[in-house]
Structure 1
Amino acid sequence: MNDWHSWAAIAVFVGAYALIISEKIHRVAVALGGAGLMLAIGATDDVSAFYSQDSGIDWNVVFLLMGMMTIVGVLKKTGMFEYLAIWAVKKARARPFRVMAMLVVITATASALLDNVTTVLLVAPVTLLVCERLALASAPFLIAEVMASNIGGIATLVGDPPNIIIGSRAGLTFNDFLVHLAPLAVVLVAVLLVLCRVMFRSSFVYDEQRADEIMALEEREAIKDRRLMVQGLVVLTLVVAGFVLHPVLHYQPSVVALLGAGLLVAVSAVETNDVLAEVEWPTLAFFAGLFIMIGGLIDTGVVDGISRTLADLIGGNELGGSLTLLGGSAVLSGIVDNIPYVATMAPITSGLVHDMGGNGHHVLWWALALGADLGGNATAIGASANVVVLGIAERNRQAISFWQFTKYGLIVTAATVGISLVYVWLRYFALA
């Protein structure tokens, strides 16, 4: 941290973050510009930026997104999302809050089996169509869903990328996450629904005329290409199975997504150019730039310095350490992407667990997972799913600003992290 490269890297990252918040320059331009500066000042280099697993672009995330965006692009051509939108609205009797509650529960549940980015890629198109049908602003619904995806992701090993890192380092299984974190996830989803009812209350405007029109629709008529839809759903089912069977097959989610996308394009009659046009290329470019900027902080020792400072604060105090790790991880994961943060913090946590005489099921691992996963809701760039949803909203001319997301994100994060602190104290200390 004493090297000038460290302070220069901090200056670049803080400056880029300030510009993203101000929204005076498009976030993609800021991320790519910040990445260029990190390379120019020597905070990182081409080898680290493009090839390092620890501090470079996370190609697994980029290609996972590209593969799933391709599959979603094909499914959009079938009319399936219109079908689901009409079905969801009719099931909820066209009541806006009921629609939001249904979408939140579906998103949270799906995020326990899929990663949260894949989930929002599938749910967001339905949401946009639902809001269009009901003449509602889509931002509250999209924000609620992305937060539900991050909360639902804590429940399982495959729900959020940081969980996979933690599971690998600590030797934790899919069932371990279910037993320790799934009960809390259910409670937090219920809390999110209550918060949404309050935060977005002005958005739940019931239009009786539009409701009557939608209730009279026949959702099956929305299907444009039944054969293509069947092909797409078969491939999507295979991809989801590949995600769930990751502990057995050992295929990275990105590989599964790319195989599925390639298979779908090959067996269907869709035009490749039309499908690739549906990929959110600006979002992928933003991720690349953001990963390089964070890589500069990792390579110059900034992230490691912060992590070790946090470790020093923890010391040998299990209760204080667990609560500090959870809260500190939530704060840091709202600023930097939680994947490189957890990758850096995992070996430090492992050392702390060893020093305390613990094993893979030690409370510190659950504290790290909760802080990293839930902290991602705090800001618009705190988690990959957030960035993806902002990109989809902008592409559909329903832009969500940094502060529009963050003002709600901070409330949800404060509430969910606060409840998680109580949960950790009760389950692993007071009632142990």
Structure 2
Amino acid sequence: MIPHNSVIFGLDPLWLSTVLLIISYVVLLSERYNRTVIALLGAGLVIITGLISQNQAIAAIDFNTIALLTGMMIIVAVTRTSGVFEFVAIWSAKKVKADPMGILIVLSIVTAVFSAFLDNLTTVLLVVPIALLIVEKLKVSPYPFLFSQIIASNIGGTATLIGDPPNILIGSATGLTFMQFLTNLGPVSVVLMILMVPIFKYLWADELVATEQDKESIMRFREAESITDKRLLIISLSILLMVIIGFIVGEQYHIPPGTIAMFGAAVMVLAASYHLNSEGQAEVLHHALLEVEWAALLFFIGLFIIVAGVEHAGLLNILGEALIEFTGGDPAKTAYATLWLSALVSAAVDNIPFVATMIPMVESMEASLGGAEALEPVWWSLALGACLGGNGSLVGAAANVMVSGLSERAGYPISFFKFLKFAMPIMLMTIVIANIYIYLRYFM
């Protein structure tokens, strides 16, 4: 804890940090103001009020997370210019003879897989516009496609370290590796995605019907024409594959994922532009940097600082002790409680700030539960609860907000309650299955 006299006006640091955290959450949830601006304002107040110093604030920023996100955004930006993602979508649609339900299932699976190995935010940016194009050609309702994209992106993103921002935060804070995420969360993600297929068919099979004429318009698409640069296609996919391999083997050499992603991004930009003159090289770099979600990165930075203020004041230790007291220090009960708490809260608020707040709280439980090994199932519970819980509402995850924005821009606004009515039962079902999985794998 920090002493009282280090805080402006002599205010109680515990009280002050709690008020700042609650205000930040409430304003973020209202969606009235830009979340990045609110996070940076909150971070500034944490420093100005003396909860932590500027040096402590800088130390609180998880630069591994920032580097990992930045590097992957650059890699995907360069890869996208080759047209490979459009190729996959068109090829997939033609493989199911342009049947709307078949396309929905295939696009959902493509999104789940891409979300695991790119990240779900980037994936929906790539796939949703293509899904909307197909919807227009087939003259069917866009909402089954949009809703299934949200569900699939969050389930797929659950499977790996880089798939969903909450996992990136957890992995960076704990040192849990790419392969640990894949082997612990991959199996349940695959099971859940398989279960989604009959659920989607039950919900929408009767609604998604297209005429033969409209199907023909899809079959006339030439997927080969979507590849705009074959040379770049080979280079970018090769480098992307090497980066993923780097995530897997880097743990043996203690190379953080952020370093691998940034190095891969630099190699990607160089490989894509080395044959050009200096102006051409600058243009490639400029385009890649424009595709980076700088607002999202600044949001993370602000969030890290706000949470650091709360942590220094001792609030998270108090909450962690309260949870331990509630579960009696039993590792299984603590894991289940963490799973359900994170799922329900992540459905109500963006799962990114929630997980950033929960990480130091879970860390404070280590001694009470018997060490780092006993704590590991709690980390997997936090990841599953936050990622799958994000499916519970339109504001639960960044990918949801992104899909909502893309659809509204295309003229298909998504009602908060319409999505809630569809998504909440599915989210609760996935959490029940995740709870069973945690029991069978770690506590049976």
TM-score (norm 1): 0.79
The answer to whether structure 1 residue 131 and structure 2 residue 132 are counterparts is yes
The answer to whether structure 1 residue 37 and structure 2 residue 38 are counterparts is no
Q: Distance in 1 between matches of 2:407 and 2:341?
A: 30
Letter of the 1:279 counterpart: V
User: 1:389: how far off?
Assistant: 6.1
Partner of 1:46: 54
The 10-residue stretch of structure 1 (367-376 or 69-78) with the greater mean CA deviation from structure 2: 367-376
- Whether the 8 Å contact between 1:5 and 1:41 is mirrored in structure 2 is no
User: 1:83: how far off?
Assistant: 1.7
Q: Distance in 2 between matches of 1:414 and 1:308?
A: 27
Q: Distance in 2 between matches of 1:353 and 1:390?
A: 40
- Superimposed CA distance per residue, residues 381-406 of structure 1 (whole angstroms, 9 cap, x where no aligned partner): 65565567678778989887877776
Matches within 5 A, 1:165-184: 168=175, 174=179, 178=183, 181-184=185-188
Q: Distance in 1 between matches of 2:206 and 2:258?
A: 39
Partner of 1:25: 33
Partner of 1:340: 356
Cα 1:314/1:59, change in 2 over 3 Å: same
- Superimposed CA distance per residue, residues 212-259 of structure 1 (whole angstroms, 9 cap, x where no aligned partner): 112012211222221122222222121121122232243222212211
Q: Distance in 2 between matches of 1:202 and 1:10?
A: 50
User: 1:417: how far off?
Assistant: 1.4
Q: Distance in 2 between matches of 1:398 and 1:266?
A: 39
The 10-residue stretch of structure 1 (146-155 or 411-420) with the greater mean CA deviation from structure 2: 146-155
Q: Distance in 2 between matches of 1:34 and 1:27?
A: 10
- Whether the 8 Å contact between 1:13 and 1:293 is mirrored in structure 2 is yes
Q: Distance in 1 between matches of 2:64 and 2:333?
A: 35
Aligned residues: 418
- Whether the 8 Å contact between 2:112 and 2:155 is mirrored in structure 1 is yes
Q: Distance in 1 between matches of 2:230 and 2:423?
A: 39
Structure 1: any 5+ residue segments left out of the alignment? none
TM-score (norm 2): 0.77
- Superimposed CA distance per residue, residues 120-161 of structure 1 (whole angstroms, 9 cap, x where no aligned partner): 424531332232233277776465445434434555677633
- Superimposed CA distance per residue, residues 254-293 of structure 1 (whole angstroms, 9 cap, x where no aligned partner): 2122112111212223522222222222222232233333
Partner of 1:161: 168
Q: Distance in 2 between matches of 1:199 and 1:90?
A: 23
Q: Distance in 2 between matches of 1:7 and 1:409?
A: 36
- Superimposed CA distance per residue, residues 192-219 of structure 1 (whole angstroms, 9 cap, x where no aligned partner): 4455556777984636544311201221
Partner of 2:238: 234
The 10-residue stretch of structure 1 (262-271 or 374-383) with the greater mean CA deviation from structure 2: 374-383
- Superimposed CA distance per residue, residues 28-74 of structure 1 (whole angstroms, 9 cap, x where no aligned partner): 3333333333333333432232222xxx3x22222222222222222
Letter of the 1:257 counterpart: A
Identity %: 33
Partner of 2:432: 418
Q: Secondary structure at the match of 1:93?
A: coil
Letter of the 2:388 counterpart: L
Partner of 1:354: 370
Cα 1:45/1:393, change in 2 over 3 Å: farther
Structure 2: any 5+ residue segments left out of the alignment? 5-10, 274-279
Cα 1:312/1:48, change in 2 over 3 Å: same
Q: Distance in 2 between matches of 1:402 and 1:6?
A: 35
Q: Distance in 2 between matches of 1:330 and 1:412?
A: 12
Question: Which of residues 213, 224, 229 is equivalent to 2:228?
Answer: 224
The answer to whether structure 1 residue 280 and structure 2 residue 293 are counterparts is yes
Cα 1:91/1:49, change in 2 over 3 Å: farther
Q: Secondary structure at the match of 1:43?
A: coil
